Chains A and B, each alone.
Chain A
Amino acid sequence: MVPIVRDVRTKDERDMFREQINELEAALFHSDSKIFDDVLTARLPKSMTDKMREIIARPEFKDNTQALRKFFQDFKDTLDMFFLLKINIAFKPSEQMIDRLHDWTQQNLGLGVVLDINYDGSILGGARIIFSGKYKEMTLAQMITDALAKEKITVMGMIK
């Protein structure tokens, strides 16, 4: 696996990287190497630019456009193989929270999982989780609904 992919946290970041790699690939065909460098500097986030520079500076990529193209293709293939972990939560996540969720997925599900986080206030708390075609409701709203169903029987019993 290309080492840099472990820094890809979310679906949006994955899509953005795929687009940027496409641009870098296109820039490889330019005779002017400055264009490639411009794309690398201007389009990628700083942290990624530095890591990408480290990789490109390796001896096997030096003056070897074909090897570099293969590297980019491997990178994109790896991104395409990622599993999507979709979670709905009751608040807008901060960067720290995204990091925390990313750490959780790496520790518990391993590499190769990206997050698709969406805000849904109606769930009140907890998370609605969708993974690999499966669905799980672990929300406060569900807890309340369950409690209502339980209490409904009690109340109807009292009235009857």
Chain B
Amino acid sequence: MSHVVAVIPQSLAVLFIMVIVVVIINLCLLAIFGLVGAVFLRRMHIASGDIEQQKREIHQKAEVLLENARKESLHIVEEANKKAGELLQQTQIVKETFETELAVVLQEFSQKETERVGHISEELIKNYRVMMESTKQKYGDAMLMAAKEMADTAQGSLTQFQEYLKDQTTRYESTLKQQTQTGFMSAQKEISDYKRESFRKVEDAIYRILDLVSKSVFGKAVSLEDQQDLVIHALDEAKQQGFFEL
């Protein structure tokens, strides 16, 4: 029993020492972790500073690039505007040259044709009048001849002869009137047909002349460079008109 009593305080002392050792070990570990943590945080801080510095540098470079790109874009837009202005001016000059040439040719041609058609119409009307006069004269002569023959061979009374003469006169007048009317209408139709045909010829001639003039003008006036610009201009205009919208 006394042996047991002696062992208990000894076991308590050992336990106490073990607790002390464990506490010391824990404190050491805590200190080590604290040190390692401090070093880690310091490195993190330094790395964070570096990253900030890099970000600032990248940002500055990006700003420089953007500024350069903006300047370049502005330059391209200015150049494009300038080119477009030049092209429009050139196109306008070509158009004005063409219109001037066109107006002169048309004016000369139309005057000439107007005079020619007017002259031919006058000739036709003159010929028609001469023909009518001649016909009238022939009928008059025939009537007088008939009257003379009737008078010479008349067996009846003067009254009968007068009646006969009156009838004949009326008949001749009616025939003459009818023939005059038919002749006049025929002449009118002939003149109208002629004018229509003349207009058609004029129209054809205008197309031929203008085709030659325009080919001649543009063949000389449009350089290869102008031709290329005109194609791009045509595409731009088609796009503006919504042609490429699906």
Contact = CB atoms under 8 A, between A and B. Distances in A.
B210 A144 contact: yes
A66 interface: no
Interface in A89-108: 89-91, 97, 100-101, 104, 108
B165 interface: no
A158 to B, nearest CB: 5
A144 B213 CA distance: 10
Given A131-B243, A147-B102, A159 B199 contact: yes
Q: Chain B interface secondary structure, helix, strand, loop or mixed? A: helix
Interface residues of B, number: 40
Nearest to B237: A138
A37 B155 CA distance: 131
Contact of A151 (B102, B227, B232, B241): B102
A155 B103 CA distance: 10
Given A147-B210, A158-B111, A159-B199, 19 more contacts: A87-B231, A91-B224, A97-B231, A100-B228, A108-B239, A109-B244, A124-B215, A126-B231, A127-B230, A127-B235, A134-B243, A140-B214, A151-B102, A151-B210, A152-B203, A154-B106, A158-B110, A158-B114, A159-B110
Interface of B: 95, 98-99, 102, 106, 109-111, 113-114, 117, 199, 202-203, 206-207, 210-211, 214-215, 218, 222, 224, 226-228, 230-239, 241, 243-244, 246
